[in-house]
Amino acid sequence: MTAQLKKKINKIKVLAMDVDGVLTSGKINLDEEGKEIKSFNVYDGFGLALCHKAGLKTAVISARSSGAVTARALDLKIDRIFQDAYPKISAYEQILKDFDAQDADVCFIGDDLPDICVLKRVGLAVAVSNAVPEVQREADYVTKKRGGDGALREVIELILKTQGKWEGLIKPLCI
């Protein structure tokens, strides 16, 4: 890890992310009644629980709206949920206000073109490994894992380990 990347990671206080393609694989499954069904990764969910224990704020910004996203975000106690947020920059600016944060305090994880406007602003821009090339070019870090397959957990571990919080969070899990 470069010294510059480590410096960016150490400033992070807010973790924000897209949904489709980051928290999910990006596939949209519909049942016979047209109801959307999404699959979320349990490792990402537990990572978010650790993130909260470490004192980081969390937010999702999605250009789409989905009841499944609302249910999962509430289950995971995500601090702010923005759906139908297109362009995404307005939701991002609201996150800065809500958390009294600066750009340098925020990590955003994205995968597709609508995420670029936010990635250009944040302190730590992350692309999932299956993100489009334009998003990967904007990223400070590209995950090894694909969206919906543990990429969020990878980023959370990177942040918490770099900030020296990881060991203190996992040690009590074995008691």
pLDDT single digits (tens) 87-134 = 999 999 999 999 999 999 999 999 999 999 999 999 999 999 999 999
CB of 101 within 8 A of CB of 88? Answer: no
What are the tens digits of pLDDT across the range 14-30?
999 999 999 988 888 88
Count of domains forming the chain: 1
Within a domain: 3: no
Q: Which domain holds residue 141?
A: 15-22+34-164
In one-letter notation, the amino acid at residue 7 is K
Is there a domain that residue 6 lies in? no
Instruction: Tell me how far the alpha carbon of residue 123 is from its chain's centroid.
Output: 13
pLDDT digits (tens, 9 = 90+) for 75-88: 999 999 999 999 99
Residue 7 lies in a domain: no
In a domain, 134, yes or no: yes
For residues 131 and 175, what is the distance between their CA atoms, to the nearest angstrom? 39
